[in-house]
A = this chain, B = another copy of it.
Amino acid sequence: MKTPEHRSLKEKQRQEREDLILQVAQDVVLEKGYRDTSMDEIAARVGIAKGTLYLHFAKKEDLMFAFFEREMQKFLQAVEQPVSTELSAQAKLESIVSIMHKDHTGKRGNLLYILFNSEDFKITLQQKSLDTLQRISAKVRSYLEEGKARGEFDPAIPTSIMLSSFFSVLSPRAHRQLFQLEEFSHDEVMFFVQKIYFRGIAKPAIVS
């Protein structure tokens, strides 16, 4: 007899397993990269048969994409969280940076980076909607524009270039070597990097 309890138990177990698969996949991808991560190895590490993997994800790419999308969605949600309009544009952007760096081990950032740059995965990424990524970009862009309008940021610098620089210099991946060296704490690094970035885009004082 099927009761809702049964169903939800099954569903819960299924979800747990799916999470485990994604977790293991993440580990392997971090170790070996996208191409060298085989479905065999993921299955073996999870402790299930290869076929079982395919009950959860129809293709290798789907597995990887599931992870990627899940993370990006979390990011998007955090980014689109309503923020007090009284905050400065810089403060709003800093809150986004802090979301990006929430994961202290940097695992997530590394993983997204690997997937984002993987030769094969790029195709999947293009096929599937880039919507989430674009919405994230759009939010950052809107804060940059707002900062310009408010006189915080230099209107002479194109917003696109500010945006591109934002993601390149403030992403967790960019400074992973520093984090590993442990010369500085994660927070210290980010404090200085943000200092550099926000000074860099700041509206220059008027020199008479």
Contact surface of A with B, Cβ cutoff 8 Å: 32-36, 114, 117-120, 122, 157-158, 160-162, 164-165, 168-169, 171, 174-175, 177-178, 181, 183-184, 188-189, 192-193, 195-202, 204-205
Contact = CB atoms under 8 A, between A and B. Distances in A.
Contacts of A195: 157, 200
Number of copies: 4
Contacts of A160: 178, 181, 183-184
Contacts of A120: 32-33, 35-36
21 contacts: A118-B119, A157-B192, A158-B183, A161-B175, A161-B189, A161-B192, A161-B196, A162-B196, A164-B193, A165-B169, A165-B174, A165-B175, A168-B168, A168-B169, A168-B174, A169-B169, A169-B174, A196-B201, A198-B200, A199-B202, A199-B204
Contacts of A193: 161, 164-165
Given A35-B120, A197-B200, 14 more contacts: A32-B119, A32-B120, A33-B122, A36-B119, A36-B120, A161-B178, A161-B193, A164-B174, A164-B193, A165-B169, A165-B196, A169-B174, A195-B200, A199-B201
Contacts of A205: 205
Contact of A117 (B117, B162, B189, B197): B117
Contacts of A32: 119-120
